[in-house]
Homo-oligomer: A and B are copies of this chain.
Amino acid sequence: MARRGDTIELAVLGLLHEGPMHGYELRKRLNLMLGWGRVLSYGSLYPALKKMLRANLITEVSATTAPISRRPRIVYEVTPAGNEHFQRLMSEVGPTAWEDDTFDIRFAFFSSTDMEIRLRVLEGRRSRLQERLARVQGELERTQAEVDRYAAELQRHGVESVEREVRWLSDLIQAERGGDDPPAHRTAGTT
């Protein structure tokens, strides 16, 4: 049930979807992919991998194309169970499912799910943002007594950013619905 810390699990399963990989590489790819927030450390990746091994979500694969002499790199592969788990995590709509990190990871691996789920995630994220927007703007109207200038500017910028993201999500939702080639540039004027 989509606990907070399943983020790594989701990311690892998603990446391994592209093919077998070892820990070090997994970490690099991930940090590049989510380079704007926090960065993943070995201290959390390796234990997570072991845990996933034990849970039979991934298996070690003995170097297919590996030159023999290298330091024993442990290459992992998704198991069928892992795949199921991935699909389940992707489709789950727990309370934390729309938070920033979680959303980004889900989005990054959209290719590995179907449209139904993509739409659910996109729409869920959008409503969540719109709720926040409404709440903040409502509370601002009531509390507006004395607003510090800088604090106000921060608010304004925040609101603007969220509004931008809402528009972005709307475009993506339309693209999904219209069956367009996923995202990139919106072609003008289809419904």
| CB pair B149 A32 closer than 8 Å | no
CA distance A32 to B168 in the complex (A): 24
Within 8 A of B (CB), among A130-186: 132, 135-136, 139-140, 143, 148-158, 161-162, 164, 168, 172, 181-184
CA distance A104 to B156 in the complex (A): 12
Chain B residues, Cβ within 8 Å of A107: 150, 153-154
How far does the Cβ of A99 sit from chain B's closest Cβ, in whole Å? 8
Other-chain residue from B111, B135, B152, B183 in contact with A35 (beta carbon distance below 8 A) = B135
Identify the interface centre among A33, A35, A164, A172: most chain B CB within 10 Å of its CB.
A35
How many copies, total?
A: 2
Question: What does DSSP make chain A's interface, helix, strand, loop or mixed?
Answer: helix
CA distance A20 to B134 in the complex (A): 29
Instruction: Say whether, besides A150-B183, A182-B149, A162 and B111 are in contact (CB < 8 Å).
Output: no
Q: A-B pairs with the 8 shortest C-beta distances?
A: A153-B183, A110-B150, A108-B151, A149-B182, A35-B136, A36-B158, A111-B148, A108-B154
A interface vs B, CB < 8 Å? 18, 32-33, 35-37, 100, 104, 107-111, 132, 135-136, 139-140, 143, 148-158, 161-162, 164, 168, 172, 181-184, 187, 191
